[in-house]
Amino acid sequence: MDLRTVVRAIPDYPHPGIMFRDITTLLGDAAAFRQAVEELAAPYLGAGVDKVAGIEARGFILGGAVAHQLSAGFVPLRKKGKLPFHTHAADYELEYGRDEIEMHLDAVQPGERVLLIDDLIATGGTARAAVRLLQYFGRAEIIGAAFVIDLPDLGGSALLREDGVAVHTLIGFEGA
Residue-level pLDDT at 37? 98
Q: Count how many residues are written for the chain.
A: 176
| pLDDT (average), residues 139-146 | 95
In the chain, where are the structural domains located? 40-172
Q: What is the pTM of this model?
A: 0.94
Judged against a pLDDT cut of 80, whether residue 175 lies above it is answered with no
What are 71-126's pLDDT values in tens digits? 999 999 999 989 999 998 998 876 566 889 999 999 999 999 999 999 999 999 99
CATH topology of domain 40-172: Rossmann fold (3.40.50)
Residue whose C-alpha is closest to residue 104's, from 124, 127, 74: 74
Q: Mind telling me the catalytic residues? A: 58, 95
What are 21-64's pLDDT values in tens digits? 999 999 999 999 999 999 999 999 999 999 999 999 999 999 99
CA distance 157 to 172: 11
Q: Is 97 left (phi over 0), alpha (psi -120 to 50) or beta?
A: left
Cα 49–Cα 37–Cα 22 angle in degrees, nearest 5:
125
